[in-house]
Structure 1
Amino acid sequence: MFKRLTALLVAGVMVLGIPIAAGASRNKAGKNSKFHISETERFKEYARISSFNKIMDKRRNSKSKDEREIKMNIEKYLNAAAQNSNFHGTVLVEKAGKVILAKGYGMANYENSIPNTTSTRFAIGSMTKQFTAMAIMQLLERGKLKLDDKLIKYFPDFPRGEEITIHHLLTHTSGIANYTNLAEYWALDPENVSEDIILNLFKNKPLEFNPGENWNYSNSGYFLLGVIVEKITGKSLDSYWHKNIFEPLKMKNTGILYKKGKKMIDTVGYVGYLDIQPIDDLLTFKTTYGAGCLYSTVGDMFIWDRALYTCKLASKKTMDMIFSPQVDTKAIGYYGYGWVIQGEGKDKEIFHDGALLGFSSIISRYVERNTGIIILTNNNSNGSGIFKIKSDINSILLGKEVDLPVEKKAITLDAEIIDGLVGNYEIAPGLYCIITREENHVYAQITGQEKIEVFPESDTKFFYRIVDAQITFVKDTNDRLEGLIINQNGASIQAKRIEDDGGQVLQQAA
């Protein structure tokens, strides 16, 4: 199961990390930057999968099923995902406050054979933002701040701080550069980081747009919100959360990931898909602050979900503001205060996902149906498949029949067949996919990246083991090879076969 992994990046199609356009600068950054998946790309992936599942649900037969049958179908699906797609994490599904299913899958630590359970603590990444937003809204209720407060009030020398408001930070409309997308961030020494060091990464970067005129997801905004909570209260964000959220709700297994010089969870984060490896997550554990520094369990997130149906933490007026569409993202629906809002009626979904190196998570709330799905995993977003798993579980809850994950089986091809596929394929000018053979092994290499082995399912279909992606070779009506298609997360990219140019293309790919 454990193999050396690398990143394969295809113009807009993530085969393990970031878009190819960013590849050159990332090569100078830290070794783990290639495993970072930008929030914008995650949301695009979610939108593709969600849209596809909605189309499929219209075609699927819907049958009335009792709770026991629904639970059985969800368990059957998740068992297949664990067995055939290497899903490892913990899942909780609930309706009207009653837990339908809560179960762990795979290992929290493969090296020491420690299984995931409902008590396993996971890094929840950007799901932290809903807690930061709640802290800000509580301070609003108490008259400690206003949503139209200018950033300059809390950071007097912040460039253009007189134009940026707390509302802009909450809704990702500030225009401030996202520091986790900067090469300088990934080059940081995790043993020498601080709030000031993080602030100075993005503080003097030009705004990407005028505040309030556009939307672009930015961890920097929620980093600043966390610091604002600390400035107003005179307490650490950790202390504020515990006193005002975690302790009142008795969330005993939620807290910050790194405290007093040590990690607060033992769960190991992994990257990959069918083949995985552990990854060094110290940098992101120590530097995500109000944007993504929390760990939790499915049990605690269930407590949180149920509290959001009440006024235990804030008034109804404030709760309505949090879950109201504040800005149209033009891509994934609307953004509220720390939450994404999609759909209408029984399809209305209020959700947020999260991802740190080696971890991915999602909480999805169908408030009209009083139903929730919580998935926490110790694998990166592309490897865990949480978006499709979440969508398929929702379809099962609606009484739909879904396809179970199936095992990917490699076959042996004759060298003659493989040689017929070997060659250069142009994705775009200057961007190529090179197919080569070494003995009976087939490799794909994208411009600027390392070559990665792909495995044949048939004469023309191959799959990756490091990520859930496939290559299909396309022939014309005369059985002549025309090109290939790379598929991942509902997106496809085509490449046209070109003539050998004496090795020039291969040199560019190296």
Structure 2
Amino acid sequence: MRRQIIALALVVTALPLAAQRDHAALTRRLDSLSRAWLAAGPSAGASIAVVQGRDTLLLEGIGERDHEHALPATPTTVYRIGSITKQFTSSAIMQLVEQGKIGLGDPLTKYLPEYPQWRTVTIRQLLNHTSGIHSYTSNPDWVKTWNSELTPARIVDFVARDSFDFAPGTQYRYNNTGYVLLGMILDRVTGTPYPQLMPTRFFTPLGLRGAAYCPSDITSADDARGYDRGATAITPAKYLGMSHPYSAGALCMSVVDYLRWQTALTSGRVVSPASYALMSTSDTLSSGKAINYGFGLAQGTIGTHRVVQHTGGVNGFNTAEMWFPDDSLRVVVFSNTVGSNPNALARSLAAAVLGVQLPPPPTAGARLSPLEGTILGRLDSLPAQSSFYAKDLRTGREVAIRADVPMNTASVIKIPVMILAFRDAEAGRLNLDERHTITAAEQRRGSGLLQTFAVGLQPTYRDIITQMIITSDNTATDIMIAKVGLPRVNRLLDSLGYRDTRLRMSVGETFRQVFVAADPKFASLSDREIYERGFPNDSAAERRNAAFVQDSTKWLGRTTAREISRLLEQLERGQLASATSTTAMRRILRQQLYASRLPQRISFRAGIAHKTGDWPPLLGNDVGIIYPPAPAGPLVIAVFTNGNTGPFYQLEATEGRVAEDVLNAWAGP
């Protein structure tokens, strides 16, 4: 490995003297950014590589790979890379596709017939996270087994009896179960278990000397120990048997190993250029909408510079890697501290090389509490606008970050629709047990399951309200908006003192505006015609969508993090409806199906009643009430994002960590 580092360094000595001076100045800048990040994190340690073309700008370890024994991190320190593993899994699948042994359109049951409930899911949908299969990492029962070693089949069993999160191909939702299933398919097709397949197929041929399927315990002096970053201290990470991440996140290597891998992958030495193009280009939903994710790789931008990237997170470790194809720039940051946010450092390093000015934190210079500083750091690492509010209802303490900035609610605005419906039921205006016959004109695309049933289905209004919240069903939403009346929703909000929270239009009208943005002639389309057309999928659709979610005149609804949190507080305190209705609404919110944001890291130790709202990959919100064990009281929390240009799974993971930060700080770890 020493020879590898020397070979990389020799490139620098071949430069002219003036270029060497410029190179030295940039290297000092990159080193300074890295050490400032380490101190501010804080993180126990990290290894960092920045290479442009054949020029190694930075290759170093900072901090400690072993905090207890003060052992330094080096470029050859071996880290658990978490979900960066997925590109190795997708590469192995694509090799088999090239060999004609697997088809991207094949149902997964062709290779795993023991899962007939998923017979409509294809290999492609597993690769691009559009399968609709529930992610086992969101199952609270899974967390209880971390100390045990489990087979891949046992891991999948955690969700094998769950219903689909959505119809396959219709939505994007980051999903670790899908990549475990891909590993099982590799096992079945190649006849070699995944832990042995990776060395024979990739590590040995490519000379990745430190790469391995991670052992559950440290076995080498080069291995980094994993830590957690809380609001006040760094502590050893919770134990996780490494059979659990399997082909979704169980590989280990150094940054030098990863540089070799990334160079081979992007130069056609792992898969064909055509296969790599599929992996590294935004795939689409069945509607034609782009999702900013390919096969094991995500797409984004820094300034005007295209980047292919992925991050990783597994107990004790966070990692980030970036490849800028138009600039021949590679950035890799591996950290042994969860919560240290290596992606923020990777973005800063890339920006320094590319000459891109990243926006400074809006509250720079303010005096922040440790919890507020941690949350601000996480949110500001996202390439997105964000706002946040949290309140401990027992003590009254709060954290507010841009909490009064009006934000695009997306489906979060469905909460006041539910509240008005229950108030109408109490007043005798609405019978929740009355059945409604769904017509063709009422069907809506996007989230929800009611659109998948034949016209004429007759759910009760109680059922319709439940679906509007727990699956964010758009068909249900427009039925309820029509039933209670859009103006009455806003009059209710106004009467409660909410000036920045409004329902602006129906879902059907929102989708009509999507078509109008493409061509004003579509303004006359009926709701049914819009439903039948799906979504525009022309070459300019992605650009229009990015502008659409930012245009407040096109929003389904608007609110602020503070106002929606106050509405949830009133709901929790029983100030909006009777005790019976309050209990019913709380129960519905606690049944929320989508658990990849706020509940992601806390559902095993706290209940949560919440509502999501999203337009992946541009916008992802989650608001709710966390119920920690006694003696702690309920915690209200709201996170909003918009204009995201990075991987959506990274946005969701950040929201999950923010919820964990709040819970740890106010209710104990």
Distance in 2 (CA, whole Å) between partners of 1:263 and 1:181 is 29
Q: Which residue of 1 aligns with 2:513?
A: none
| 1:486 and 2:400 aligned | yes
| 1:464 and 2:464 aligned | no
Residue type matched to 1:169 in 2?
L
Tell me, yes or no, if the aligned pair for 2:284 and 2:290 is still in contact at 8 Å. no
Q: Which residue of 2 aligns with 1:368?
A: 326
CA drift at 1:345: 9.6
Q: Which residue of 1 aligns with 2:157?
A: 200
- For 1:377-388, list aligned pairs within 5 A: 377-380=335-338, 383-388=339-344
- For 1:415-430, list aligned pairs within 5 A: none
Q: Which residue of 2 aligns with 1:188?
A: 145
Distance in 2 (CA, whole Å) between partners of 1:484 and 1:185 is 31
- Aligned-residue Cα RMSD (Å) equals 3.7
CA drift at 1:162: 2.1
**Deviations 1:452-490 (CA, angstroms, capped at 9, x unpaired):** xxxxx75xx4233994549x9x9xxxxxxx995433999
| 1:74 and 2:38 aligned | no
Q: Which residue of 1 aligns with 2:125?
A: 168
Distance in 1 (CA, whole Å) between partners of 2:281 and 2:72 is 39
Q: What secondary structure sits across from 1:384 in the alignment?
A: coil
Closer/same/farther in 2, CA of residues 320 and 218 from structure 1, 3 Å limit: same
| 1:309 and 2:266 aligned | yes
CA drift at 1:344: 9.2
- For 1:73-112, list aligned pairs within 5 A: 73-87=29-43, 88-112=45-69
Closer/same/farther in 2, CA of residues 336 and 258 from structure 1, 3 Å limit: same
CA drift at 1:267: 1.7
**Deviations 1:271-304 (CA, angstroms, capped at 9, x unpaired):** 1155110022323x22111100101100001101
CA drift at 1:317: 2.0
CA drift at 1:325: 1.8
The counterpart of 1:355, out of the listed 297, 303, 313, is 313
Distance in 2 (CA, whole Å) between partners of 1:94 and 1:373 is 7
CA drift at 1:201: 0.9
Closer/same/farther in 2, CA of residues 488 and 235 from structure 1, 3 Å limit: farther
Q: TM-score, normalised by structure 2?
A: 0.52
Residue type matched to 1:464 in 2?
L
Distance in 2 (CA, whole Å) between partners of 1:345 and 1:464 is 30
Q: TM-score, normalised by structure 1?
A: 0.67
Q: Which residue of 1 aligns with 2:548?
A: none
Q: Which residue of 1 aligns with 2:345?
A: 389
Tell me, yes or no, if the aligned pair for 1:334 and 1:342 is still in contact at 8 Å. yes
Tell me, yes or no, if the aligned pair for 2:265 and 2:271 is still in contact at 8 Å. no
- For 1:152-163, list aligned pairs within 5 A: 152-163=109-120
Distance in 2 (CA, whole Å) between partners of 1:332 and 1:485 is 35
Q: More relative contact order in 1 or in 2 (CA 8 Å, sep 6+)?
A: 1
Tell me, yes or no, if the aligned pair for 1:159 and 1:203 is still in contact at 8 Å. no
The counterpart of 1:280, out of the listed 234, 238, 244, is 238
CA drift at 1:391: 1.6
The structure carrying a bigger helix percent of its residues is 2
Q: Which residue of 2 aligns with 1:54?
A: none
| 1:293 and 2:207 aligned | no
Residue type matched to 1:463 in 2?
P
Closer/same/farther in 2, CA of residues 401 and 208 from structure 1, 3 Å limit: closer
Tell me, yes or no, if the aligned pair for 2:169 and 2:285 is still in contact at 8 Å. no
Tell me, yes or no, if the aligned pair for 1:483 and 1:496 is still in contact at 8 Å. no
Distance in 1 (CA, whole Å) between partners of 2:24 and 2:99 is 45
| 1:232 and 2:189 aligned | yes
Tell me, yes or no, if the aligned pair for 1:275 and 1:466 is still in contact at 8 Å. no
Residue type matched to 1:220 in 2?
T
Q: How many residues align?
A: 381
Tell me, yes or no, if the aligned pair for 2:283 and 2:290 is still in contact at 8 Å. no
- Structure of higher CA gyration radius: 2
Q: What secondary structure sits across from 1:207 in the alignment?
A: coil
Residue type matched to 2:185 in 1?
I
CA drift at 1:327: 2.6
The counterpart of 1:124, out of the listed 69, 72, 81, is 81
Q: What secondary structure sits across from 1:228 in the alignment?
A: helix
Unaligned runs of 5+ in 2: 1-20, 378-386, 390-395, 408-559, 574-629, 636-666
CA drift at 1:403: 9.2
